[in-house]
Amino acid sequence: GAVVSQHPSRVICKSGTSVKIECRSLDFQATTMFWYRQFPKQSLMLMATSNEGSKATYEQGVEKDKFLINHASLTLSTLTVTSAHPEDSSFYICSASGLAGSLTDTQYFGPGTRLTVL
Amino acid sequence: ELKVEQNPLFLSMQEGKNYTIYCNYSTTSDRLYWYRQDPGKSLESLFVLLSNGAVKQEGRLMASLDTKARLSTLHITAAVHDLSATYFCAVAPRVTSGSRLTFGEGTQLTVNP
C-alpha cells in the first residue's frame, strides 16, 4: 500500500514552454501533498505544501506564479512549471501524506520527474 | 528554523567494515526518518523513529534516536556493495504543519569490494 506515482518520469522541453507534472496517490487519500526539487548531488528542497481544496503554501524564495500547484482532489496534485528556463532543470519529487498504513502524516514519495529545459 | 546536519557527507568504505552516519538536528522533534536514494531514483523509506531510545534494524542497517542529544545514527554492519547509495535523514518538528520535513544534506556512501 501507500503508492505514489508521478507522470511523466522524464520530460525535455524548450525554453519558454510550460510543463505540467502530475502526482497521484494510488491507494490512499492524500490530505497533504508536497513538492520538492533536487539539484544534482544536493538534498531535497521543499518548494510548497498543498492541501486538497486550498491554495498551496510556498516556501520562501519559491515563485508561486512560476510554479503553479493545484491539488484538486485527494488523489491528485499537479505542478506546472510556467515559462520554463534552463535553470529550472531539476529532479522534481512529490510526496503525499494521509491516513495510510498505521502512521498518519508519514510522507510517501513518488518516483520523481526529471525535467530538462533546453 | 529547524536545521539538520549529517556527518560525514561522503563515506568510502570497504566491504565487511562497519561505520556510522550521524544526524544532528537543532530543535525538538516528533519524528525522524532515514531514506535511501540511488542515483537517478527517488527516496526509499528505511526507518521512522518516533521516541527517545528507539532502535530499529533491517538487515545490515540499524538506526537509533536520542531526542535529548537531538541525534540519530545509522549504523552499517559488515558493509556490502549493494549498500552504496546516498542516505538522508529528515526531521519533522514537534509543532507540525502538515508533517513538513526538513532534510539533511545527505551522506554519499560508496562501498568498495
Nearest neighbour of B100 by CB, restricted to A46, A103, A112:
A46
Q: Identify from B42, B46, B95 which residue to disrupt to test chain A contact, counting A C-beta atoms within 10 A and taking the largest count.
A: B42
DSSP letters for B92-106: EESS-SSS--EE---
Measured between CA atoms, the residue of chain B closest to residue A92 is B42
Q: How confident is the model at residue A31 (pLDDT cuts 50, 70, 90)?
A: confident
Residues of chain A with C-beta less than 8 angstroms from the C-beta of B40? 114
User: How much of chain B, in percent, has pLDDT values that exceed 70?
Assistant: 95
Which three three-digit cell numbers place residue A111? 518516483
Rounding to the nearest 10 degrees, give the CA dihedral for residues A30, B31, A110, B59: -130
Q: pLDDT tens-digit profile of A32-65?
A: 899 999 999 999 999 999 988 888 999 999 999 9
Measured between CA atoms, the residue of chain B closest to residue A111 is B42
A117 phi/psi in degrees, rounded to 5: -110, 120
Residue A101 confidence (pLDDT)? 47
Residue with cell 507522470: A7
User: How much of chain A, in percent, has pLDDT values that exceed 70?
Assistant: 93
pLDDT value at A117 more than 90 = yes
Q: pLDDT tens-digit profile of B63-104?
A: 999 999 999 999 999 999 999 999 999 998 765 545 688 999
pLDDT value at A105 more than 70 = no
How far does B102 lie from chain A, in Å, by closest CA?
Answer: 8
pLDDT value at B2 more than 90 = no
Q: How confident is the model at residue A2 (pLDDT cuts 50, 70, 90)?
A: confident
Q: What is the residue-averaged pLDDT of chain A?
A: 91
Residue with the larger pLDDT of the pair A38 and A73: A38
Count of alpha carbons within 13 Å of A105, Cβ hemisphere only?
17
What mean pLDDT do residues A97-102 have? 60
Q: How far apart are CA B25 and CA B101, in angstroms?
A: 12
Asked if B7 is an interface residue toward chain A (Cβ–Cβ < 8 A), one would say no
What sign for the dihedral angle of Cα A27, A32, A38, A43? negative
